[in-house]
Structure 1
Amino acid sequence: MRSSVEIYTIATGETHIVWQTQQLVEAPNWSPDGQSLVINGDGLLYRLALSGGEPQLIDTGFARTCNNDHGISPDGSTIVISDKTEFGASTIYTLPAAGGVPRQVTLNRPSYWHGWSPDGKTLAYCGIRDQVFDIYTIPVEGGEETRLTFGEGRNDGPDYGHDGAWIYFNSSRSGRMQIWRVRADGSDVTRVTDSEYGDWFPHPSPDGKHLLVLSYDGDVFDHPRDLDVRLRLMDPDGGNARVLFSLFGGQGTINVPNWSPDGTAFAFLRYEPAADQ
């Protein structure tokens, strides 16, 4: 086993395995109907039914180098991907959830998708402009991007809160990577975590009760794979933070929104060391 797709249930604290493979797969994103997960592997996307069976390839047209920044729209009709096939740098596209021809959204690149507003109208992403990592939003149809952060350290991993009022993200502006949030209009930037860890990929639950965070050891910068990490749960304002469990993972574990539609469980990837390690 190299990759293990698993689900953690909040009420019971129990984990169950959905599917395991000797291949490297990443970033489970839960469908709004609650029936399946979307994962990526080898530049392609797959749909994994929670009822069992092998993952099914999703037709992404010319986009054959998708990274692990993908997600399903709130109404379940559309998939967003981040792919570099066309331009040699990550670009955001949308396509029908059943598969089809990608439609370009972002003109500036690299751009790495991370969040979809609850009303389905806006995408949040990390854009690298002149080597500066910042948080941007853009209408799902495309158009002008709106910059929400301005080079205060590295800013990455944005995801919308349950009602769309806040966008959570991770930032190194304090020295160590921590979780912050900003209102969707770019105001009221607020620190959420002040921890000993390197905190990444905040994902607010759809019911507004929780915030899930991937936490590296404090001396780790960036978000590498294959390290001992932990998943932490807290209130949306950072209060009552606790470690749910530790695991071998990191990059690929929870890169994208991964909560069940009702907010009672979340999906994640656990890994075993690669054979050449």
Structure 2
Amino acid sequence: MGVVNVTPDSFSNGGKYLERDAAVAQGLRLLADGAEIIDVGGVSTRPGVLVEGSGESGAGSGKSGKKSVSEQEELDRILPVISELKRKQPEAVISVDTYRANVARAAVSAGAEVVNDVSGFRWDPQMKRTLAELKCGGVLMHMRGRPEEWRSLPPASDIVTLVKRELREWADTAMLAGIKRERLVLDPGFGFGKNFEQNYPLLKRFDEIHQLRFPLLAGVSRKSFIGRALARHGKDAPVTDRSFGTVAGETVAILKGAHIIRTHDVRACADAALIADVVVS
């Protein structure tokens, strides 16, 4: 799954693909490099960012006078990209990275076949019903708290057990709302509400999440915990220097049984996956 962030404040590319043509060109490059899915997102969920939502987690607080990206702005960013990608590559599988039900519906109408929701279908109370109606694929990701709360979250005694328990509960709720089991993929949410130390056991014990009996997605690409592991002279590796560490982390995830890898560096990941697949088969 290749990532195209149509945002001005992405942690990984800082707005490089905010314009439609640049985003479409990047999507086509990722497909040529071996991506089987293109994940298009119009709202950053980097640490500290303010997001909207409702349901279990409540609404955005508006801290520090910051405003979250509006629904219309998100639509204006992603819909032209999705439509143009499908026009140029009709066979391409497009995923939309959104936590808003209305955005999900519009994206599917524009050609997306998968909704990738970092909130686990929880922030927008209409999301589960919408996905059930759309009959599209859904990625249910685990997140602790909200991005603006991550620095103040209480510690988790066993992050893997917590992630498994909550993913099971959230998946059960989604299916009760009408989403078919075979349309769901689970993502443990590396970096989303997990501190540096919690991500390493989550990767080490990734195979335990197979106990839930769903296809699994892993997204470790360029994450902060990769930068921390690659630190030199007391400084974390910057995003631009995390490519090799990213491939190593992605290879571990594949060897632990990940079915989908969400990545910014598709060519390197695809090559690593070919070798890893030979080993596991």
TM-score, normalised relative to structure 1: 0.31
- TM-score by structure 2 length? 0.31
More helix by share: 2
